[in-house]
């Protein structure tokens, strides 16, 4: 079985991927600086078999930490990244440096150590794409650099260019994946992600804050589907050198999402529309629609993410409730 390094393996998608690879019998290494990830997300592999699991605390921009973590690995799944539109808008320098330098360092490390790289990119690279659904070969239509938001998509796109250059120049095997609004337990609402925010608000009886008119649409992808696609792509030789969308292509408005979260939480919180300029700097532009074309994904993997959103929301809400209960019992036992 393979030895795999997952950068950002303590984070939301990374830790679900680690669980899966580890359950499948792989030897898994994790490099994470815990800037947004949590060690408790790795409690399964850490607890049960130390032989097949090792955690390195460090940044992907640190060459020594990367080399230590990647030693003996066949592939690197590069998921470490600053996440969340809010974080990118609030800390643009840190976000862009982390994305650009992190990806470059990982590709260099792969070249030195002779490993392949599966690069986690983002549907943000499509920017304000007009042709729905978004196909991997579409031109990218990012907004002006005057608005920090587009720096995230631009940095992710630059990472894709760099990956292609390393593949062409140094024969590093590379697969690029573009994620579409992945959701599931362990996702954190601190950096703006809509589903964990709505769930927290609904369970706490607070108003659900829908930005703008709520008519903007997204396709939410269950993290179990995302992980299934990542593993299948990695196992598919034809995926090397390809850019591949990973997403569920069923669309929903944010207003409808708010209603479904209320239903899943059995909550009677009020839905409140909030103007963008109350939450973001002036001139902030949201993406109105973002739908993946999954033809290539399905051709390569034989899999199409289609898990029902209500089922995913039920899973997320059950997990959030269990966390609240645990936190309450800790507080209770201290009192
Ligand atoms: N959103 C919202 N309320 C929130 C957080 C986000 O209405 O508390 C909206 C946001 O404006 C966007 C959508 O939900 O239209 C998805 O936002 P998220 O940050 O999760 O992902 P992205 O914008 O990258 O798709």
Each residue's pLDDT tens digit, 234-255: 999 999 999 999 999 999 999 9
Least confident of 39-48, 96-105, 313-322: 39-48
Q: What is the pLDDT of residue 335?
A: 63
Q: 3-182+221-248+291-306 adopts what CATH topology?
A: Rossmann fold (3.40.50)
Q: Above 80 in pLDDT, residue 231?
A: yes
CA angle 56, 58, 63 (to 5 degrees): 105
pLDDT higher than 90, residue 87? no
Claim: this prediction has a pTM higher than 0.85: yes
152 is catalytic: yes
More confident site: 37 or 335: 37
CA-to-CA separations, 71 to 3, 74, 314, in angstroms, rounded: 10, 9, 40
Of 79-88, 104-113, 245-254, 306-315, give the lowest mean pLDDT range: 79-88
Tally of CB atoms within 10 A around 60:
27
| Closest to 132 in 3D by CA, of 21, 219, 65 | 219
Token pair recorded at residue 205? 């009886």
pLDDT digits (tens, 9 = 90+) for 268-308: 999 999 999 998 888 888 999 999 999 999 999 999 999 99
pLDDT above 90: percentage of residues in the chain? 82
**In the predicted model, is pLDDT for residue 49 greater than 70?**
no
Q: Using a 6 Å cutoff on CB, does residue 181 contact ligand 1?
A: yes
Candidates 235, 216, 240, 124; CA nearest to 178 is: 124
Does the C-beta of 253 come closer than 6 Å to ligand 1? no
CA distance 198 to 258: 7
CA 234 from centroid of its chain's CA atoms:
17
Specify the pLDDT at position 148: 86
Q: Could you tell which of 199, 201, 218 is best to mutate to test the pocket of ligand 1, judged by most ligand atoms within 8 Å of the CB?
A: 218
Is residue 15 scored above 70 in pLDDT?
yes
203 alpha-carbon distance from chain centroid:
24
- The pLDDT value recorded for residue 237 is 97
Six token digits for residue 307: 């898990």
Q: What is the spatial distance between Cα 128 and Cα 68, in angstroms, rounded to a whole number? A: 40
Q: Identify which of 143, 151, 194 to mutate to test ligand 1's pocket (most ligand atoms within 8 A of the CB).
A: 194
The backbone torsions φ and ψ at residue 129, rounded to the nearest 5 degrees and listed phi first, read: -45, 140
Ligand 1: which atom is nearest the Cα of residue 210?
Answer: 7
Q: Which element (helix H / strand E) includes 23?
A: helix 12-23
Cα 197 from Cα 5, distance rounded (Å): 30
Domain locations along the chain: 3-182+221-248+291-306
Q: Is 197 in the pocket of ligand 1 (CB under 6 A)?
A: yes
Q: Is residue 321 over pLDDT 70?
A: yes
Pair of tokens at residue 166: 């390393």
Q: Ligand 1 centre from 134 Cα, in Å?
A: 19
Q: Which 3 state secondary structure label does DSSP give 78? A: strand
Q: Which of 152, 166, 170, 303 is catalytic?
A: 152
């Amino acid at each position: 079985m393979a030895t795999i390094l997952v950068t950002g393996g303590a984070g939301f998608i990374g830790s679900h991927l680690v669980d899966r690879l580890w359950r499948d019998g792989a030897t898994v290494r994790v490099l994470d600086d815990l800037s947004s990830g949590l060690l408790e997300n790795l409690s399964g592999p850490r607890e049960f078999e130390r032989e097949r699991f090792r955690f390195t605390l460090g940044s992907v921009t640190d060459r020594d930490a990367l080399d230590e973590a990647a030693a003996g690995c066949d592939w690197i799944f590069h998921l470490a990244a600053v996440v969340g539109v809010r974080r990118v808008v609030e800390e643009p320098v840190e976000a862009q440096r982390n994305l650009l330098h992190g990806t470059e360092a990982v590709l260099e490390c792969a070249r030195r150590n002779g490993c392949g790289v599966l690069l986690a990119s983002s549907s943000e690279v499509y920017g304000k794409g007009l042709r729905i659904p978004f196909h991997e070969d579409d031109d990218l239509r990012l907004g002006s650099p005057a608005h920090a938001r587009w720096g995230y998509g631009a940095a992710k796109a630059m990472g894709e260019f760099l990956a292609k250059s390393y593949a062409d120049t140094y024969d590093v095997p590379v697969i690029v994946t573009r994620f579409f609004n992945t959701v599931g337990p362990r996702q954190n609402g601190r950096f703006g992600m809509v589903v964990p925010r709505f769930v927290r608000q609904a369970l706490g009886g607070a108003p659900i804050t829908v930005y703008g008119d709520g008519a903007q649409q997204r396709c939410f992808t269950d993290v179990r589907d995302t992980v299934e696609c990542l593993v299948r792509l990695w196992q598919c030789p034809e995926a090397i050198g390809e850019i591949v969308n990973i997403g569920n292509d069923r669309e929903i408005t944010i207003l409808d999402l708010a209603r479904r979260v209320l239903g899943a939480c059995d909550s009677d919180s009020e839905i409140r529309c909030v103007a963008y300029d109350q939450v973001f700097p002036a001139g902030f532009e949201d993406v109105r629609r973002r739908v993946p074309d999954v033809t290539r994904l399905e051709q390569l993997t034989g899999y199409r993410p289609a898990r029902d959103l209500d089922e995913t929301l039920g899973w997320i809400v059950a997990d959030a409730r269990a966390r609240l209960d645990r936190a309450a019992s800790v507080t209770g036992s201290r009192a």
